Amino acid sequence: MLNCTFHRSMWRYFFSLGLVCLFGSSLAQVKKHFKIESNNRYKTVTLNYNSSSGACYVGPGESDEPIAVYSDRDIDEFNHTFDKSTYNNSLEINLSIEAKNKETFSQSISSRVFRNEKPEDNTWKVFLTEDIPYNLNLTYGVGEAYIDLSSIKVNSFHVRTGSADVNIGYLTDMPNPVVMDTFNVKVDLGNVTVRKLYMAKAQNIKTEVGFGSMMLDLSEPPTVPSHVRASVGAGSMEILIPKSDCSIIVRVKDSMLCDVHLTKSFREISDNVYVNDAYDEDSDNQLSFDVDVSLGSITFKEKR
């Protein structure tokens, strides 16, 4: 079973590693490969970003450009596409970066087993503006990804990873300035860590794990009611929840192989429906879970 317990110090280390890999060796060689000039007519931005390998950082920038992409690598070393379209003051960006020696699926598994991949040899940094709301659709193949959503207005957020390790959170404790409709994360073989997910202000949270692992930090009461749909195949998921002052209800899909671990504060109120001590059906900041587990496990842990 894969272990999805990530400590806060490790979370900070991951982000620090991504920054050092990009800027630590030779700042003068870092190049801006892609950008879109600011335009105050844009009301929303949809970013479709696909990275096949390497290490990638996505986070807030200091300019008002909808996107700016940096790397110390020559773009001609990669297969890439970058285009945009506009409709009714909405901007859609399609960005794909793929190594020309892209690994096959079996090679990806081998890389994870023997750890012979070197993501620092292929590092990209994507800056977003804090001025315009985004719909983010991010896809990763192998390698590592670091996503800092601090201060960014995000209407919807979708991430899918093959065997990449993905770290998501609010590094500077600046929450989403707008209410998010959907936060959706799917992991096949990789590991996903989501820190301070309560800062996303997501009304709907959808998570799916195949053979990998995922950790969701919902350890503080949300400011808006959140409905979480959690599905696990043969992997594992760990969910941190508030210890008190938050109404929580968990509905478990019945299965002979179901492996769901709840804390002692939960009690069963009907078949496969559990609530915590603070449960109030009229709560205005309730966390509700629909849980479906096949061969893996989901573990709920209270904030210490």
Question: What is the rounded CA–CA span in Å between residue 102 and residue 190?
Answer: 17
What pLDDT is recorded for position 101?
A: 67
**Closest residue by Cα to residue 75 from 99, 104, 43:** 99
Question: What is the rounded CA–CA span in Å between residue 230 and residue 225?
Answer: 16
Q: What is the pLDDT of residues 221-258, one digit of tens each?
A: 999 999 999 999 999 999 999 988 899 999 999 777 67
Answer yes or no: is pLDDT of 115 > 80: no
> Rg of the Cα trace of the chain?
20
Answer yes or no: is pLDDT of 155 > 60: yes
Q: Which amino acid is at 145?
A: A
Question: What is the rounded CA–CA span in Å between residue 150 and residue 164?
Answer: 22
**Residue count (the chain):** 304
Question: What is the rounded CA–CA span in Å between residue 120 and residue 181?
Answer: 34
Q: What is the pLDDT of residues 43-61, one digit of tens each?
A: 999 999 999 988 999 999 9
Token pair, residue 181, equals 């409709």
Q: How far is CA 166 from CA 5, 18, 188, 230, in A?
A: 13, 12, 12, 17
Contact 76, 33 (CB under 8 A): no
What pLDDT is recorded for position 23?
A: 47
User: Residues near 118 by Cβ (< 8 Å), separated by ≥ 6?
Assistant: none
